[in-house]
Structure 1
Amino acid sequence: MNPFSHIDLRVTNLERALPFYEKFLPELGFTQTFHSKNWNVFATEGNLPSVAYFAITEDSSHKPNGNLIGFWAKDRWEVDRFAQLVKEIGGKITSGPKIFPISATYYAFYFEDPCGNQYEIVHRLN
């Protein structure tokens, strides 16, 4: 069983961040939307609440910190494809894509959303 349920994410400026997430999250499989006045929810296929989802809300006082959310990629090509997408939709790549000294097959890139929240996309064989 995958214990992942959801992520509740704060962004400092929803108007700036939402276009990024509307293009990024569907590429990760969060293809259903359940938006309300205060939350923009992107879910995987299936029925809430039993599917993984990513909920975004605006909090102008939010301060991005050292927290990082990581996502798997099926291969190196997919890591590179996501890196290109992130550049095109307004994210900031902070490192990679490249092999990192975590293991001989740890191929990843790190990036920030338009509000400074940190992420990683990784492919790793061992």
Structure 2
Amino acid sequence: MNRFSHIDLRVNRLALALPFYEKLLPALGFTRTFHSADWRVFAGEGELPSAPYFAITEDANHRPCANLIGFWATDREEVDRIAALVKEAGGKLNDGPRQFPISPTYYAVYFEDPCGNKYEVVHRLN
């Protein structure tokens, strides 16, 4: 059972970050939107509130830290596609996509959104 529920993310400049997330999140399966004045919500399949979702709000005082949010990829090609999309959408690739020595099948890309929040997309068999 995947126990993921949601992410409430702060960015320090929504106008800078939103175009990035409008490209990235649908590619990760968050294809439906439920936006309000203060939150931009991208949801996966299922009915809210039980559907997984990714919510973004602006906090001018937010500063990114070393926290990292990771997503599974179905295969190495998806990792490569997400890496290309990150570059195209204005994100910063920090490492990869490549094989990492974490396990013999750990293939990942590490990146940041335009506000410095950190992510990983990984495919691994074991």
TM over 0.5: yes
Counting only pairs closer than 5 Å after superposition, residues 86-125 of structure 1 correspond to structure 2 as 86-125=86-125
Instruction: Name the counterpart of 1:35.
Output: 35
What stretches of structure 1 move > 4 A for 4+ residues in a row? none
Cα deviations by residue, 1:12-43 (Å, 9 ceiling, x for unpaired): 00000000001110111101100001000000
Q: Distance in 2 between matches of 1:19 and 1:41?
A: 13
Q: Distance in 2 between matches of 1:76 and 1:48?
A: 30
Q: CA deviation at 1:2?
A: 1.8
Instruction: Name the counterpart of 2:15.
Output: 15
- Between the two proteins, the alignment pairs up a number of residues equal to 126
Q: CA deviation at 1:47?
A: 1.4
User: Per the alignment, in what secondary structure is the counterpart of residue 108 of structure 1?
Assistant: strand
Cα deviations by residue, 1:54-84 (Å, 9 ceiling, x for unpaired): 0000001001001000001111111111100
Instruction: Name the counterpart of 2:59.
Output: 59
TM-score, normalising length: structure 1? 0.98
Superposition RMSD on alpha carbons, in Å? Answer: 0.6
User: Per the alignment, in what secondary structure is the counterpart of residue 84 of structure 1?
Assistant: helix
Q: Distance in 2 between matches of 1:46 and 1:100?
A: 33
Q: Distance in 1 between matches of 2:26 and 2:77?
A: 18
Q: Distance in 1 between matches of 2:51 and 2:8?
A: 14
Letter in 2 for 1:16: L
Q: Distance in 1 between matches of 2:28 and 2:3?
A: 18
Are positions 1:48 and 2:48 aligned together? yes
Q: CA deviation at 1:46?
A: 2.1
Aligned sequence identity (%): 73
